[in-house]
Amino acid sequence: MKVVAALTWLTLTLPIGGNAQFHFQHTPENHWVLSNGWIEAEFQFTHQQTFEFVALRNLRTGDIWKAHPALASSPVRFASESEAVDAYIPLRFVQESIEPIPPRGMRQNLVFDEKGGGFRIFLALELYDNEPVLRYSVRIRNLLDQPRRIRMADMLSWNFEEPGNEFRLLRVNQWSVLPPLRNFEPQDILLPSDFRREFVYSGAGAAHCAWLAVRDRRDRGLIAGWEFDGRTEASARYRASDGRLQLSAFIESLNRYVTPGGEFQVPPAFIGLFRGNWDEAGFRTQRFVERVLAKRVPEEHKFPYVVWDSWGYQTDINESLIRRNADIAARLGMEMVIVDLGWSRTIGDWRHDPVKFPNGLAPLADYVHSLGMKFGLHLAIAEAALDSPVAREHPEWLSTEPYSYFGAKGLCLSHKPVQQWLIQEIVRVIDEYQVDWILQDGEHLVKRCTRRDHTHDPDDSNYSNAVDGLNAILEAVQKLRPAVLWENCANGGSMMTFNMVKYYVTSITNDASGALGSRQAVFGATFPFPARYTDRYMPEQPSNTYITRSYMFGGPWIFMNKLEAMSPAELALAANEIRTYKAIRPLMRDSKIFHLTDAPLEGRVDAIEAYSPSRDTAVVVITRDGVPSNHHLLRLEGLNPESSYRVRFQDDRRIYVMTGRQLLEDGVPVVLPAPQSSEIVYIEPADLAFALPD
């Protein structure tokens, strides 16, 4: 029986502006071919009535990633307690539709029924203008008159045919202060040829960021990310004997109860194509994330911000101290003051401490606003001290796992009464204290909880506390108070996912771990994530440029020191360095990141570059950390070999005019006078006027 008899060829120009051309084709042979002029994705509905992946094509390079002929795969892959649905299970085609989606994208909607009649499957395939990335999601409806349990869902179900090849995998650690210690180390791994898995364990409190990239010996590559904050077991593996390259990403401990007529949403994921090195893999990921997924900021021309956070004083804070430091912050050119942990009566009792802040926080917020700065507040929404009113009155709201955040215990965010209370509390705090920014902190933001008196399924804690818990609370609060910006922090960057970027405008990397640790974190995190998602906490006093510039590259620059204790020389240096940061932050935020050296270590020179292809302009922060020589030959990336460039420095007054080829191949000499020192290098087309920051 022919499922679809008519050939439909659609060439669609987006009505929301631009010249994007999308070709979405459904052939009489029941092939769907989706293209945006860069990536082409092909799927088929076979004679056996299975839905299968056929190929991904890079139309600019000619690279083709074909499905394995003997091992079919499909973005639809899940299992209930009694059956699996994947590329081998017959389906009945129900309907299709195509719709424009922002920003400048198109979505192909396909609906299938499982042949046995138990599930209806909604598959969404999305392409966006000028992005070599396919985003997709699967939603499942239970058509039976009895409940079902979804026990498995693969967010990254792909099998490719790659005979006679060799593959490397790049994954990046998250942050952890518990053994084994982790600080965003990038791990470049040769995939075994015998089909052994290399794992990527992602989600809140897990080992790795929710991203992987693979590339072969010819630099053909795939990038992949999944939009889920809970724990995930992803992997890549390759078998040379039959040329099978397999990717997968399973939701851990999934046990989702789906009522008759109810639905289950598999978290979205994306897969993209690149040709080049790991910096190119990162750039393609970052541009897609920034354009399609990431939370927007209202003042892009001023973001990332320069911030002062009170944690240098730890919990020994009060209104007078914050005001005095705010005065200094304003004079230095900072743009926000954050009152960190210690402002409330206790963790979970989100009312101001009447001794430290007898007038409340609203007058303090008014004062900070009068200085031209934003007012931020630390809030550990998923934690409650045992002596807090919420824990005393509702001990049953606590999670079963023994988390301890400064002695506080975890709240179960997917328990409906907890959600309702927290949403009201957060909105009250925002309104009462005139909050512009929430520094959300805590211990394992996706809690494990197996209580049987909670509204969530005790056997589905991982998914429930991520989606029904944390995400639901953030969605509700941000809908009610959309102007408030959120920073992701979980005792450091331990929830680096592509779902996180939808709710937060930035994320901490490591937690005030010093100059070298800051550079190490930014080095690794800027492979999968845009630079604005790498904020740094600077606990040291800014006594030299080695310190300040170790924190300068990336997202918000957060001073976490005692401003009142700074010397006149440190104040002057900080003011100058802040002006420099403000001048280069747009380039860092919007450009391609090149990792010009190995990862930072003591006894090395490390350098990281932001290059804007549209402006043909670059800035590099280069740091000497204990190397004997005070000169370094810096080779750039990204420049046009045939163009001429003017090269200047922040400190050194020399000026060079060099060709792109010279800068790429021979390098430019950089003077780093002290064993611990740093320089900023500026590169711009020679025929343009170049203005150094004051």
CATH of the domain at 620: 2.60.40.1180
Domain membership of residue 80 (yes or no) is: yes
Residue 426 falls inside a structural domain: no
Q: Distance of CA 103 to CAs 52, 106, 291, 378, Å? A: 28, 9, 7, 32
**Cβ–Cβ under 8 Å, residues 330 and 579:** no
Could you say which of 293, 324, 355 is where a domain stops?
293
Asked if residue 573 belongs to a domain, the reply is no
Contact call for residues 293 and 498 (beta carbons, < 8 A): yes
Amino acid letter, residue 418: V
Which of 293, 313, 331 lies at the terminal end of a domain, its last residue?
A: 293
Give the list of residues 6+ apart from residue 210 with CB closer than 8 angstroms, or none.
Answer: 200, 202, 203, 225, 226, 227, 228, 232, 234, 496, 497, 498, 499, 528
pLDDT along the chain (694 residues), means of 10: 36 48 90 97 96 98 96 96 94 96 96 92 98 98 96 98 97 94 97 97 97 98 98 98 97 97 98 98 98 92 96 97 98 98 98 98 98 98 97 97 90 97 98 98 93 95 97 98 96 95 97 95 98 97 98 97 98 98 94 97 98 96 97 97 97 97 98 98 84 45
Q: Residue 299: what pLDDT?
A: 85
Structural domain for 156, as ranges? 8-293
Q: What pLDDT was estimated at residue 298?
A: 85
Whole-number pLDDT of residue 692: 42
Give a yes or no: residue 259 inside a domain: yes
Contact 198, 235 (CB under 8 A): yes
Q: State phi, psi for 222 to the nearest 5 degrees.
A: -120, 140
DSSP class of residue 628 equals: S
Residue 206 three-state SS: coil
Q: Which of 240, 274, 293 is the last residue of a domain?
A: 293
**What total number of domains does the chain contain?**
2
Residue 120 lies in a domain: yes
Tell me the CATH number at 200.
2.70.98.60
Q: Is residue 220 part of a domain?
A: yes
Positive or negative, the Cα torsion across 337, 328, 587, 311?
negative
Assess if residue 60 is contained within a domain. Answer: yes
Q: Give CA–CA dist 249/237, Å, rounded.
A: 12
Res 7: pLDDT: 35
Residue-level pLDDT at 20 = 60
**Exposed, middle or buried by CB within 10 Å (0-12, 13-18, 19+), for 61?**
middle
Q: What is the separation of C-alpha 21 from the centre of its chain, rounded to a whole number of angstroms?
A: 28
Question: Within a 10 A sphere around the Cβ of 300, how many other Cβ atoms?
Answer: 12
Residues 456/384, Cβ–Cβ less than 8 Å: no
Please report whether residue 103 resides in a domain: yes
Contact of 277 with 481, CB cutoff 8 Å: no
